[in-house]
Amino acid sequence: MFGEYGAVLKWYFHHPLKTLEFLDQTVTTEAPQMRALNLSNYRLQDAPAHGWRAGRFALWSDFRSALVRRWPHHILAWYLLVIGASIGMIRTPQGRLGWISLGIAALGIGEFCVAGLADAAETYRHLFIFHACTDLTVCFGISSMFKIIIKGGKPMNNHAKSFSWLVSVLVLTCSFAFAQSTSLSGSFGFQLNAWSSPISTNPGLAFLGVMNFDGAGNATGTYTVEVGADNAKPPQNLTGTFTGTYSINADGTGSMAITLDIGFILPFTMVIAEGGQSLQLVATDCSGGCDIGGLVISGSARAAYAGSPNGSYAFQLRNSPEPVGTIGVATFDGAGNVAVTLTVVAAPHGGGSPPIFSGTLPGTYSINPDGSGAINLNGAPGQLPDSTYSFVVTDGGSGLLLLQTAGRSGTDTNVSFGTARLQ
Q: What percent of the chain has pLDDT over 70?
A: 79
Encode pLDDT of 226-282 as tens digits: 987 676 677 788 899 999 999 988 788 899 999 999 888 999 999 988 877 899 999
Q: Is the pLDDT of residue 326 over 90?
A: yes
185-422 CATH: 2.40.128.120
Task: Reply yes or no on whether the pLDDT at 182 is more than 50.
Answer: no
The rounded percent of the chain whose pLDDT value lies above 90 is 31
What is the dihedral sign for C-alpha 104, 106, 109, 110? negative
pLDDT for position 178: 45
Give residue-wise pLDDT tens across range 52-103.
Answer: 566 666 778 777 887 887 788 888 988 998 888 888 888 777 778 888 888 9
Q: What is the largest CA-CA distance in the chain?
A: 89
The pLDDT score that the predictor gives to residue 1 is 46
Q: Report the DSSP beta bridge partners of residue 268.
A: 256, 283
Neighbours of 31 (CB within 10 A): 24
Instruction: For the chain, state the CA radius of gyration.
Output: 25
Query: pTM (2 decimals)?
Result: 0.65
pLDDT one-digit tens code per residue, 196-220: 665 556 678 899 999 999 888 899 9
CATH 2.40.128.120 in the chain, residues? 185-422
